[in-house]
Amino acid sequence: MSIQFAPDEAEIERRVEALLFAAAGPLSAADIARRLPEGADVGRAIASLRVRYEGRGVELECVAERWRFRTAPDLSFMMTEEREEPRRLSKAALETLAIIAYHQPVTRAEIESVRGVSISKGTLDLLLEMGFVRLRGRRRTPGRPVTYATADRFLEHFGLASLYDLPGAAEMKAAGLLDLSLPTGFEVPDPSRAGADDEDPIEDGDAPEFAQDFVGD
Amino acid sequence: MSIQFAPDEAEIERRVEALLFAAAGPLSAADIARRLPEGADVGRAIASLRVRYEGRGVELECVAERWRFRTAPDLSFMMTEEREEPRRLSKAALETLAIIAYHQPVTRAEIESVRGVSISKGTLDLLLEMGFVRLRGRRRTPGRPVTYATADRFLEHFGLASLYDLPGAAEMKAAGLLDLSLPTGFEVPDPSRAGADDEDPIEDGDAPEFAQDFVGD
Amino acid sequence: MTEAFQPNLDFTAVEEVDARDAFVVDLDGYEGPLHVLLALARTQKVDLLKLSITRLAEQYLAFVHEARRRNFSLAADYLVMASWLAYLKSRLLLPRTEKGKGDEPPAEEMAAALAFRLQKLEAMRKASDALMARPQLKRDVFTRGDPEATVIVPSDRIDASLYELMAAYVGQRRKDQARHYNPTQRVEAFALEEARDWLRDILPRLADWTPLERVAPVRDEGPGPSQASFTASTLSASLELVKEGAMDVRQEWAFEELWLKRRGQGPGLGQPLELTP
């Protein structure tokens, strides 16, 4: 049942609407374009759908640079049957998540230096396991510490189109609050970093060090 | 966030729209009415939604006196013909990939010895086809088994600059994956230091044997 | 969103107490010295950068004092912070002509840096609040409850994260280890009852202070408890005898040698060990 004529704008819009409705997850413009005739203006169709659904019970939203339909936030009170009891994040976990989100890529030591306490066991695991946070790479500094960043799941959960949309990020950046390097000569003692047992030194020979770490009796 | 005033018709329509969209299955008028303020005219809201969606990519459909949204029937070709193979890695594939990543270069027999089960033919094929894994060489041992290693696509996908950046034991510990209950002698190999001195490069003429390796049995 | 990041905050818990020097001593509510300082700073009701560090230091010292008075066990980092603040305060109060030693930055700079650090922590606090205030998936907003039977899977990416890869690897290795699990011999321990009997036998000979290791039985060749077990059980048994009033134990410092002596006659080296933390 192939279409012989080139579909017009309205038809493209219909198809994009259908694709987004049917999809199990958010779709990128590229995902959508792949299923449309060549040359279809996906961006235009999305923009026009967005206007069409504005103020409706269902709205088109951009998360992690992908598009999805979702119910209007002001109707949340009605959705009792669909609501899932979210896993409670502790205050510490939330703060850690915020630091990772606003400072990424960020090392464990940097997170700890902003909070002034070492990260308790379980905090990072939980965030990793929930898929909000991912390991991103290694900092090219001595010790080559692993850096953390947020994952798409984080943006999808909080309905953010991209990291630029983090609330207040621009203001914080302008105020220098997202700068990880501290002012010169800053020497508040950092007791959380005093003991090295909470650190995970990364060296060439990960293995022997590890053996020491874990196997030691 | 409860609404104090009686919602008007348009608001009732919005709510019905959201309910039908988020519901896990078709809803009857009674199902819907139960979740709306008393006296809300559900029939009218449904009728008006039906008109609103007529000819759109998504339509409101009645089956067995229940209502649900579904994509327009004339667009079904989009939902099937261009459907792509889902690319979620199966558990077996992920596990195999992990062992290849950490133990490379590694032979099929070695992978199987860690996993304790034989690898199904499709698993390695899939990883090779996806470009995550490549044939690396032949072990200089009897039978000259083929060795596997990760390919560039693997590094790209996981955002690693080099194999040197693959998280080691320290990161596994930080992520809560390793704990003190590990037996002695557990170590995570460092794949960036894997030498090639006990293997020969794969040659062109190897192809038939390779086929044997995969197609066998 | 801008509004959420104005410097006015409502730390109601702190503000309700109002009084200049009163604060809530509730360590559970704070995660560390910096969090306490932030809460205290809020009572000054000024921009964090214009904070009076001297006053903040006083408040913090009073906090630590109060906490100790109420017998909260304070972590070392609270005390380290207290002494550093006391030092900073004294430097801030010194006339400016008095130069700090060596290459130490001026006290005002250190104070400003502390204020800045508090501001950063504060920003993250507000950021996490602002995030939680957003509509969240499956709590406030919902995607389609019943996607089409022919599901369109977003396929330009593969769902596998580094974390999953690590988890898969560790899972495999664990299974591998479990398959080759080979229990080692049961560790034999020197039973406490035996240790008690041993100690009672030897007690008459302990007229003088004797090191623990000379009191404990010495391991001989062949199977049996390890030397560590002999020592540990003997120590446990000796503490029981101390409780019974049959002997004394003392130690000069942590990790120093332990000395044992029967109670009663004989030249003593001092008071018995006090088992208080």
CATH architecture of B91-216: Orthogonal Bundle (1.10)
Q: How many domains does chain C have?
A: 2
Q: Round to whole Å and give the CA distance between B205 and B194.
A: 25
Note whether residue C27 is domain-resident.
Answer: yes
Instruction: Tell me if C146 is assigned to some domain.
Output: no
The HSE-up count of residue A19 (CA atoms within 13 Å, CB side) is 30
Which pLDDT belongs to residue C108? 85
Per-residue pLDDT of C231-261, as tens digits, reads 889 998 998 888 888 888 888 888 888 889 8
| Residue of B214 and B54 predicted with greater confidence | B54
User: pLDDT by residue (tens digit) across B171-184?
Assistant: 787 777 776 555 55
Shared domain for C35 and C122, answered yes or no, is yes
The verdict on residue C142 lying in a domain is no
The answer to whether the CB atoms of A14 and B180 lie below 8 A apart is no
Query: Which of C172, C180, C181 is most worth mutating to test chain B (most B CB atoms within 10 A of its CB)?
Result: C172
Which is more confidently placed, A96 or B90?
A: A96
Residues 6+ apart with CB under 8 A from A187: C105, C110, C113
Which of the two residues, A111 and B205, has the higher pLDDT score?
A111
Could you report the per-residue pLDDT of B6-53, keeping only the tens digit for each? 688 899 999 999 999 999 888 999 999 999 998 899 999 999 999 999
3-state secondary structure of B11: helix
| C121-155 pLDDT tens trace | 999 999 999 998 988 888 888 888 877 655 555 55
Do residues C112 and C221 share a domain? Answer: no
Q: By three-state DSSP, how is residue C34 classified?
A: helix
| Predicted local distance difference test score (pLDDT) of residue B216 | 35
DSSP tag of A94: H
pLDDT digits (tens, 9 = 90+) for B121-145: 888 888 888 888 999 888 888 888 8
Alpha-helix residue ranges (DSSP H) falling in A54-194: 91-103, 108-115, 123-129, 152-158, 169-174
Those residues with Cβ within 8 angstroms of residue B28's Cβ, 6 or more apart along the chain or in another chain: B65, B66, B67
pLDDT at C22: 44
> Residue B51 corresponds to which tokens in the numbers above?
């008109």
DSSP for residue A198: G
| CB nearest B175 (choices: C143, C146, C166) | C166
Question: Is C174 among the domain residues?
Answer: no
pLDDT for A149 equals 93
The predicted structure's pLDDT at residue C3: 39
Going from the C-alpha of C62 to that of each of C15, C59, C74, C82, C102, the distances in angstroms are 17, 5, 13, 10, 30
Taking contacts as CB-CB distances below 8 angstroms, the residues of chain C near B91 are: 168
Give the 3-state secondary structure of C151-165.
CCCCCCCCCCCHHHH
- Dump strand ranges (E) for chain A: 58-63, 66-71, 106-107, 133-138, 146-150
Q: How far is C155 from chain B (nearest CA, A)?
A: 6
What residues of B are in contact with residue A80 (Cβ under 8 Å)? 35
Query: ipTM beyond 0.95?
Result: no
| Segment C105-122 mean pLDDT | 87
Cα–Cα dist B170/A146, whole Å: 10
> B186: pLDDT confidence band, cut at 50, 70 and 90?
low
Query: What is the pLDDT, as a whole number, of residue A99?
Result: 95
Instruction: List chains touching B (3+ CB pairs under 8 A).
Output: A, C
Asked if B170 is an interface residue toward chain A (Cβ–Cβ < 8 A), one would say yes
Question: Rounded to two decimals, what is the model's pTM?
Answer: 0.63
Shortest distance between the Cα of B177 and any Cα of chain C, in A, equals: 7
In angstroms, rounded to a whole number, what is the distance separating the alpha carbons of residues A200 and B168? 10
B203: confidence class by pLDDT, cuts 50, 70, 90: low
Most confident of the following: B19-28, B73-82, B153-162, C42-51: B19-28
Q: Is the pLDDT of residue B211 over 60?
A: no
Q: What is the pLDDT of residue C127?
A: 93
Using CB atoms, which chains have 3+ pairs under 8 A with A? B, C
CA distance readout (Å), C49 to A178, A180, C45: 16, 18, 11
Q: Could you read off the pLDDT tens digit of each residue along chain A, which spans 217 residues?
A: 444 456 788 999 999 999 998 887 889 999 899 888 888 999 999 999 999 999 999 999 999 999 999 999 999 998 888 888 777 888 889 999 999 999 999 999 999 999 988 888 788 889 998 889 998 888 888 878 888 999 999 999 999 999 999 999 988 888 888 887 654 444 455 433 433 333 333 333 333 223 222 222 3
Cβ contact, residue pair C141, A159, below 8 Å: yes
User: Residues C205-222, buried b or exposed e (16+ Cβ, 10 A)?
Assistant: ebeebbebeebbbeeeee
CATH number for the domain whose boundaries are A9-82: 1.10.10.10
Q: CATH number of the domain that C253 lies in?
A: 1.10.10.580
Query: Counting every residue, how long is chain A?
Result: 217
Better pLDDT: C203 or B3: C203
Of C128, C138, C140, nearest to A95 by CB-CB distance is: C128
pLDDT at B36: 93
| Predicted pLDDT at A60 | 95
Q: Is it the case that residue C214 has pLDDT exceeding 60?
A: yes
Residue C184 forms part of a structural domain: no
Give the structural domain span for C43. 11-93+107-133
Q: CB-based contact (8 Å) between B69 and chain A?
A: yes
Q: Are B199 and B140 in contact (CB under 8 A)?
A: yes
Q: CB contact, 8 Å: B68 with chain A?
A: no
**How far does A166 lie from chain C, in Å, by closest CA?**
8
- Residue C171 belongs to a domain: no
Query: B184: nearest CA in chain A?
Result: A215
The answer to whether B9-82 and B91-216 have equal CATH topology is yes
Q: Are residues C129 and C15 in the same domain?
A: yes
Peptide bond into C272 cis (omega under 30): no
Calculate the dihedral angle through the C-alpha atoms of A14, A20, A22, A28, rounding to the nearest 10 degrees.
Answer: 130
**Chain B residue closest to C151 (CA)?**
B79
Q: Would you call B57 and A124 a contact, using CB atoms and an 8 Å cutoff?
A: no
* Residue of chain B nearest A139, judged by CA positions: B165
3-class SS of residue B134: strand
Cβ neighbours of residue C154 closer than 8 Å, sequence gap 6 or more: A23, A24, A25, A26, A27, A28, A31, A66
Q: Among residues of chain C, what percentage have pLDDT more than 70?
A: 74
Contact residues, chain A, for C51 at CB < 8 Å: none
The pLDDT of residue B195 is 66
Task: Name which residue leads in pLDDT, C104 or C165.
Answer: C165
**What's the angle, vertex CA C195, arms to CA C189 and CA C196, rounded to 5?**
145
Q: What is the pLDDT of residue B65?
A: 87
Q: Helical H runs in B54-179? A: 76-80, 91-103, 108-115, 121-130, 152-157, 169-174
Domain boundaries, chain B: 9-82, 91-216
C28 and C114 within one domain: yes
